[in-house]
Amino acid sequence: MNLLVVGLNHKSAPVEIREKLAFNKSSVPIALSQFSRRFPSAEVVILSTCNRVEIYVAEPENCVIDEDVYDFLAVFHGLEKSSFVDYWYYYSGGDAVNHLFQVTSSLDSMVLGESQIISQVKEAYTTAKEEECTDKVLNQLFQQSLAVAKSIHTNSTICQGKVSVSSVAVEFAKRIFQEFSDKVVFIIGAGEMCELVVKSLCAEGINAVMVTNRSYENAEALASEYGGKAIKYDLLNEYLPKADIVISSTSAPHFVISPENIVDGIKARRGNPMFLIDIAVPRDIDPAVGKMSNVYLYNIDDLNSVVSKNVGERENEIEECKVLIENEVNRFISWLEEIKIAPVVAQLRRHFHCIGEEELLRLKPKLTNIDPKDWDQVVYAMERTINKILHQPAKVGKQEAKNGSGHKYIEVIRKLFGIKGVEV
Amino acid sequence: MSIAHYCIFITTIVFYFLSSVWSVGALIKPKRFGLLATNRFMFTGFIIHTFYLIFFCIKDKGLPVTNIFESVIFLIWCIILIFVVVDFLYKLKAVLAFLMPFVTIFSICSILFIGNDLALSGDLQKFWLVAHIIPTFLGYASFGIAFIASIMYITVQRQLRTNFTGTLLTRLPSLEGLDSLIWRTLTFGFPLITLGLVLGFVWIRFSNILGSNWLLDHKVMLGIAAWLVYAALLHLRMIASFHGTKIAVLTIVGFCLILFTFIGTFFFGATHGFRDKASNGQMEEVIILNEEIN
């Protein structure tokens, strides 16, 4: 049994290469059926995301190698093999299993611990299964990989703690506010980062967005995107007290919000908390504002420090997750060895039963006066004897397979009993 | 009090202590300490506590407030009862991490009152006792939860300002959620405590349990002061629409005053219906003598 993975990801290949070799949703089934036609005995799954393209192959006759997969990809995408072959990685056997488990558990993702990859792996597997491109081995492999990923995400903190500035900002907002539907967000400066934070906040249920910018047109454009209201830059101080969340990212060289122009607004809020995010460099909001009562101010460094801490915490979990994955890989390999042993044991049984039947055929003409009931007893005794003899070899075979030395067992069986045609 | 009594109450405290350890642990190391165990410990302690109080109810043929120890453990029971209701309604398990250590310490402190000689006067009428005690204690318990929520509010606020990278922050409720909990428990407790006070005044007018100078009773004076603090607090919130830190701080001050009113006054000689067992005996003799004369 040959199990291999050929692939490229964000670490091994630049986006220019990845985009040429990526499969879209509609091309995956076509690629799967073409691959199956070319290698009928192979099981195949294609995993194609924005960060990786991987082809998992399980094949019992050892006739598919990595070069075959490269050739297939070159033909399918109409590319020169030499243009991409340097960017690919190749794993086989236990390494391939380990790689898939790491990918599904998002240990190999660009953002460590992200959960989207689980659904992407699940989708890739489901597509291959629907196209009847998977069988016993890849079914077991992918089902186990999804179970491992689920277990890691549940039992470790690898996916806890936000690791992007916008999600950390939302996390802070959640520590201050319970309900977002009645909150007002005020965006000062229509920058890209502001937009990311607003997008995340809107996903939490914020309805009211106010946008101000030196260029009123840009403010209007961003406001219309989120169904908000554009405010003229001169009216900033007037609208400020109405906001519960303020996100500032202007390119102004001086403070845009200082304690003097917010103090009345804060008083008017009667102790209702106000959350300010200053993602501008140089800063837009005077740090003294953050010292005011019921005002919570965070700048880009504050948000980045949380991101770094969360990334560090996730990285600390990697080793623990790798140990868990290693155990699961061993479990899968044992299972794989067991299913390799099964045909050998079956062949051994057939071999012994053939010998038994031959002996019975030789014996029967000599016992012409034997009662049919007695003859049945003789046949039964022969079968019992063979089964008893084979019980221990079958048990040992399974045990050897679990220990990873199934191939030696097969070799011994072949030599001892002269069985031909058994794969080693 | 027999050794069996001691053992039952100590068992309750042990369960409350385990619940404290687990609830605080669940905040710091959630992987190691499960909230399920926290809940189980708390409920087991609460059930034993309930049976313990039922035993006192049967013994006293009424509410378990015949001495200071019983009153204190009845108040602790009321606080947990209010929490159970709050948790059922708003699912705020993190409150346990702050409530259970408080409950455990309060329970341990209550042991100090076991040998206290003050006991409720024999001439207290059961109806008025129940009418005064039940709303007052439930009001106190609601203010107790508001107090815990206020401490949490101040903690979250401090974390947001000084230690915003701390993992603890992510496991505590939001400021707004805590503010809303403070408000809800205050508005539940205030009418109850008002009712308790009013019924107490009516009772005083009908009977002579606190003597003629009942207004000078430490507990009455401090009770009125605490009521005024809470009235001011609700006024600030309802009329002046105040939220946040000021409300949390005032709630903490108010509950400290309540605690002092409840227990502290006894250390300053106030008895508030409680008398020495010896004088209770004399009182009963006088009552019997009066009945014989009549």
Q: Tell me chain A's radius of gyration from C-alpha atoms.
A: 33
Mutate to test the interface with B, among A157, A163, A175, A180 (most CBs of B within 10 A): A175
Please tell me what DSSP assigns to residue B214: G
Q: How far is CA A128 from CA A31, A120, A133, B90, in A?
A: 10, 12, 5, 45
Q: Is B161 on the interface with A (CB under 8 A)?
A: yes
Answer whether B66's CB lies under 8 Å from B129's CB: no
Distance CA A4, CA A56 (A): 6
pLDDT tens digits, A368-382: 888 889 999 999 999
Say how many Å lie between the first and final Cα of chain A, rounded.
9
> CB–CB of A293 and B244 under 8 A?
yes
| Mean pLDDT along residues A211-235 | 89
The per-residue pLDDT of chain A, averaged, comes to 87
Cα separations in angstroms, B108 against B15, B84, B97? 12, 21, 17
Contacts of B165 in chain A (CB under 8 A): 305-306, 309
- In which band, very low, low, confident or very high, does the pLDDT at A126 lie, cut at 50, 70 and 90? very high
Answer yes or no: is pLDDT of A263 > 70: yes
Neighbouring CB atoms inside 10 A of A268's CB total: 11
B242: closest CA of chain A, how far (Å)? 5
Q: Do A176 and B176 touch (CB under 8 A)?
A: yes
Q: Which chain A residues are within 8 Å of B160, Cβ to Cβ?
A: 172, 175-176, 296
Beta-strand pair A52-59/A208-213: unpaired
Distance CA A398, CA A341 (A): 7
Instruction: Say whether A321 is catalytic.
Output: no
- H or E element in which residue A9 lies: strand A2-9
Closest CA in chain B for residue A162:
B170
Its sign, for the CA torsion A224, A227, A231, A236, is: negative
What span, in angstroms and rounded, lies between the C-alpha atoms of A424 and A347?
A: 13
Instruction: State what percent of residues in chain A have pLDDT above 90.
Output: 28
Q: Determine whether the interchain pair A294/B245 forms a contact, defined as Cβ–Cβ distance below 8 Å.
A: yes
Domains in chain B: boundaries: 1-116, 138-294
Of the pLDDT bands very low, low, confident and very high (cuts 50, 70, 90), residue A18 is: confident
Q: Report the SS3 class of residue A4.
A: strand
Residues on chain A touching B174 (C-beta within 8 angstroms): 174-178
Q: With an 8 Å Cβ cutoff, is B158 touching chain A?
A: no
d(CA A406, CA A398): 8
Q: Which helix (H) or strand (E) segment is A18 a member of?
A: helix A15-21
Which residue in A50, A202, A321, A354 is the catalytic one?
A50
Which of these, B286, B259, B9, B224, lies nearest to B148 by C-alpha position?
B259
Tokens standing for residue B14:
């042990």
End-to-end CA distance of chain B, in Å? Answer: 37
Beta-strand runs (E) in A49-204: 52-59, 89-92, 184-188
Q: How distant is the Cα of A165 from the closest Cα of chain B, in angstroms? A: 13
Whole-Å CA distances, B277 to B107, B121, B126, B204: 24, 9, 19, 22
Residue B244 CB neighbours (<10 A):
21
Give the pLDDT confidence score for residue B29 in this predicted structure. 81
Contacts of A42 (CB under 8 A, 6+ apart): A35, A36, A57, A58, A59, A64
Spell out the residues 6+ positions from residue B131 whose beta carbon is closer than 8 angstroms to its own: B199, B203
- Do A88 and A12 touch, CB atoms closer than 8 A? yes
Phi and psi angles of residue A371, each rounded to the nearest 5 degrees, phi first: -70, 135
Question: What pLDDT was estimated at residue A249?
Answer: 87
Domains and CATH numbers, chain A: 2-155 (3.30.460.30), 165-293 (3.40.50.720), 334-417 (no CATH)
Q: Order of strands across the sheet with A52-59?
A: A43-48, A52-59, A2-9, A89-92
Asked if the ipTM is above 0.85, the reply is: no
Confidence of residue A422 (pLDDT cuts 50, 70, 90): very low
Q: Cβ–Cβ of B176/A270 closer than 8 Å?
A: no
B32–chain A Cβ distance below 8 A for any pair: no
Rounded-to-integer distance, Cα A306 and Cα A397, Å? 54
Q: How far is A176 from chain B (nearest CA, A)?
A: 5
- C-beta separation of A379 from A356 below 8 A: no
Q: Which residue type occupies A4?
A: L
- B249 CB within 8 Å of a chain A CB: no
Interchain contact, A176 vs B246, CB within 8 Å? no
In chain B, which residues have their Cβ closer than 8 Å to the Cβ of A313?
A: 167
In this prediction, residue B264 carries a pLDDT of 65
Instruction: State the nearest Cα–Cα gap between A190 and chain B, in angstroms.
Output: 27
For residues B189 and B86, is the Cβ–Cβ distance under 8 A? no
Amino acid making up residue A309: K
pLDDT of residue A211: 92
Q: Is the bond into A282 cis (omega within 30 degrees of 0)?
A: yes
Residue A311 sits at the chain B interface (C-beta within 8 Å): no
Distance from CA of B224 to the nearest CA of A (A): 27
Average pLDDT over residues A22-45: 90
Q: Is the pLDDT of residue A350 over 60?
A: yes
> Which has the higher per-residue pLDDT, A131 or B166?
A131
User: Across the interface, do B165 and A309 touch by the CB < 8 Å criterion?
Assistant: yes
Of the partner residues B180, B240, B245, the one whose CB lies closest to the CB of residue A293? B245
Query: How far is Cα A25 from Cα B171, in angstroms, rounded to an integer?
Result: 39
Min Cα separation B93/chain A (Å): 15
Please report the residues numbered 174 through 193 in chain B whose beta carbons come closer than 8 angstroms to any beta carbon of chain A.
174-177, 180
Structure tokens at A360: 């019975």
Nearest to B169 among A175, A177, A270 (CB): A175
Element (H, E) at B275: strand B274-276
Name the residue in chain B with its Cα closest to that of A310: B165
What pLDDT tens digit does each residue of chain B (294 aa) get? 567 777 888 899 999 999 999 999 988 887 778 778 888 999 999 999 999 888 888 877 777 777 778 888 889 999 999 999 998 988 888 899 999 999 999 999 888 777 666 556 555 556 777 788 889 999 999 999 999 999 999 999 988 888 777 767 778 899 999 999 999 999 999 999 999 888 888 877 777 666 666 666 777 778 888 889 899 889 888 877 777 888 899 999 999 988 888 776 666 655 555 555 444 444 444 444 444 443
CB B245 within 8 Å of CB A293 = yes
Please choose, from the candidates B163, B27, B156, the residue with its C-alpha nearest in 3D space to the C-alpha of residue A305: B163
| Cβ contact A175–B175 (<8 Å) | yes
Question: Which of B160, B167, B177 is closest, CB to CB, to A296?
Answer: B160
Q: Tell me the residue ranges of DSSP E strands in A13-168.
A: 43-48, 52-59, 89-92
Which is more confidently placed, A72 or B272? A72
8 Å CB contact of A157 and B176 = no
Block residue for tokens 């101040």: B154
Say if the Cβ atoms of B31 and A155 lie within 8 Å.
yes
Per the listing, tokens 């400290």 go with B256
Q: Considering only CA atoms, which of B10, B14, B32 is closest in space to residue B23?
A: B32
Å between B180 CA and nearest CA of chain A: 9
- Quick: pLDDT tens for A143-184: 999 999 999 888 887 877 777 788 888 888 988 998 898 899
Q: Dig out the tokens for B112 from the structure.
A: 């100090």
Torsion sign across C-alpha atoms A347, A349, A355, A357: negative
Helix (H, G, I), strand (E, B) or coil at A230: strand
**Beta carbons of A35 and A72 less than 8 angstroms apart:** yes
Query: How high is the pLDDT of residue B292?
Result: 43
Give contacts of A 269-298 with B, CB under 8 A: 270-273, 290, 293-294, 296, 298
* CA gap B247, B72 in Å, rounded: 26
- Give me the mean pLDDT over the A116-133 stretch: 92
**Of B79, B261, B48, B265, whose CA–CA distance to B188 is shortest?**
B79
* Residue B288, pLDDT score: 40
pLDDT class for A315, splitting at 50, 70, 90?
confident
